Chain A
Amino acid sequence: MQNDLKKEQKAGRFGEFGGQYIPETLMHEIDRLVKAYNYYKNDPTFKKELTDLLHKYANRPSLLYHAQRMSKDLGGAQIYFKREDLNHTGSHKINNVLGQILLAKKMKKTRVIAETGAGQHGVATATVAALMGMKCEIFMGEVDTKRQSLNVYRMRLLGAKVHSVTTGTGTLKDAVNAAMQEWASRTEDTHYVIGSVMGPHPFPTMVRDFQACISAEIKKQLINETGKLPDAIVACVGGGSNAIGAFYHFIKDKDVRLIGCEAAGKGVDTEKHAATLERGTTGIFHGMKSIFLQNDDGQIDEVYSISAGLDYPGIGPEHAELAAQNRAEYVGITDDEAVEAFEYLAREEGIIAAIESCHAVAYVKKLAPQMSTDQIIVCNLSGRGDKDVAAIARYRGEKIYD
């Protein structure tokens, strides 16, 4: 029923959310992108090339791992981890980047640009640009270049130029602003590889489609192993790409709870958080109508999280709609809880996961004990944690320099 309604909707709309709210200078290019994407997404050659890259270069399908020690320790639901951290470049970001850069190549682009928060999307973009022989420039907030300096060097090693963005808050939203400005000045040879399910149509839909392999695989793998669907899927949410990827093929399975974990930073009742769906209101920014953290005057808030990848004042429009329909739930996880989960997962399962992903792990720790042992939670481990080790050590007061 809902899906019938959706079909009648304008392309790029999720309920009232989504749309194409960007300057006219970019609309011509956006029109081209919509056309190209609509064509290539059904093109057998494109699909085969992308699948080959995902399987042979990026290490897909990623494992679905039954975390037995953790399940036992928490004493409730069986916990499975979808191991996006084992992908080449260490996160889910590569799924989207391979799709977009392959598309850019078909559109005869020779240069790609991207924003990055934690650096994972920047690293994935720089990697695939190297693979496909494209020029690459990455925009990263100055604050983030400091807390993720290892990733900055990684990008440079891969041949990308990294711009440190000093305007505004010097974090992810400002990196997006800078990348959009750069794109507006140069679309002829350049594609902007947006790193999450955000921005103007077609990005939220296109990035979702490229990430949907996560839920397609989960479904197949879990049914193979257990014969069942999961009871809940838990994923962290920055812009929302790994979460929508993990949710997508379960949206119609109404009995599967979909839970997104936002960064509550120092607490949603403080000023230092990035819990968009818990504290945000409807607005129009970065090309989309969605939910944003903003003041009464429509000025976008400065947001905060220990995790550079979740430090974003908005959320993809499809999540805004899933929340409005109560189809998905969104919860806040504080810095402390995420760090605690980071350490717990390392000790309990021998997995050092990204601090972003550990926001999801932290919620699993709360949820699993409330469920029975024959129930299943799938938690999306969106990335690996090497990049965070030094920062977590400092958080714990150790004197380590990376």
Chain B
Amino acid sequence: MTNISNAFKNKKAFIGFVVACDPNFEKSIDYVKTLADAGTDVIEIGVPFSDPIADGPVIQEAGLRAFKNGVSTKRVFEMVAKIREKTTVPLVLLVYLNNIFKYGYDKFFSACQQLNINGVIIPDLPVEERSEVAVFAKKADCSLIPLVAPTSGNRIKKIVAGTDGFVYAVSSLGVTGARDRITTDLDTMVSNIKRFTDAPIAVGFGIHSPEQAVEIAKTADGVIVGSAIVKIIAQEGTHAEEKLIDYVSNMKKALKQPETNRI
């Protein structure tokens, strides 16, 4: 059992996302701790990229704020080092491939191993190109979290082969950002994925409300919330603790409802 799959043990996982150095270096460290203490089971930390083609406006703007605060890959590792002094919550980096490539695959994943970063999500790395990264990730005991899209169809089998963390099921086409309505048939999508892997499946992209979480958790093993959390931080700046705790508590409560946990 990896640190990540442990987070799914006997419960539906709540996975939260923050952008590194938003609203600033120190505060984003505090917020990871806040989210963890409020019960977030896995925390994704976004490494800002100049051209985030998978991200919608909310996360793009957070990236711009982070750049103003001098974010860099090195700085993100410094941030995680501080986080690791405070919490053992499973951590996953969301990072575009060019940042890893320029840092050096070997050096990047060695840093992940040293800091106990448990997984990496690379939005622009499809299974076709995974092998050049996979050797380094494996050596560092760092899970490469595969993404499955509503359009993946017969690609699912090769995408999820060998998954040791969790599978990220992308709920909607397009970019990240809260959506009122998710039109994808998630039940079918999740059961299609389950045919090919025993790894837990978490659904993300556009999820923001407890109602959505209840619905999704009927079939999936967890929900991932990005833009909704980033939006709270955008609105509350350096005083977001209370709202973050409220938000996570509500989502956790929704995921604990008995109907959600029916197997």
Residues of A within 8 A of B (CB): 19-25, 27-29, 31, 167-168, 173-174, 177, 180-181, 184-187, 281-287, 292, 294, 296-300
Contacts and interface: CB of A to CB of B under 8 A. Distances in A.
Contact of B50 (A20, A21, A23, A299): A299
B129 A28 contact: no
Contacts of B155: 24, 27-28, 31
B129 A181 contact: no
A23 B151 contact: no
B242 interface: no
Contacts of A281: 102
Interface string B142-159: 000011111111010001
Contacts of A186: 173-174
B39 interface: no
Nearest to A174: B51
A180 B98 CA distance: 17
Nearest to B174: A185
B54 A300 contact: no
B237 interface: no
Given A283-B102, A297-B99, A23 B124 contact: yes
Contacts of A300: 50-51, 98
B126 A22 contact: yes
Interface string B117-146: 000000111111100000000000000001
B73 A297 contact: yes
B124 A284 contact: yes
Contact of A181 (B53, B74, B103, B151): B53
B17 interface: no
B129 A21 contact: yes
B97 A284 contact: yes
- Say what secondary structure dominates the interface of chain A: mixed
B60 interface: yes
Contact of B173 (A185, A282, A299): A185
Nearest to B151: A28
Interface of B: 49-51, 53-54, 60, 67, 72-74, 96-103, 123-129, 146-153, 155, 159, 170, 173-175
Contacts, number: 114
B152 A24 contact: yes
B175 A28 contact: no
A21 B173 CA distance: 17
A299 to B, nearest CB: 4
Given A21-B129, A27-B126, A28-B151, A283 B173 contact: no
Contacts of A177: 51, 53
B173 A298 contact: no
Contacts of A184: 53-54, 173-175
Contacts of B150: 25
Q: Which 5 interchain pairs have the tightest Cβ spacing?
A: A185-B174, A298-B102, A28-B151, A299-B50, A298-B98
A22 B73 contact: no
B97 A21 contact: yes
A298 B97 CA distance: 9
A185 B175 contact: yes
Contact of B170 (A25, A173, A296, A299): A25
Given A21-B129, A24-B159, A284 B147 contact: no
B174 A181 contact: yes
Contacts of A174: 51
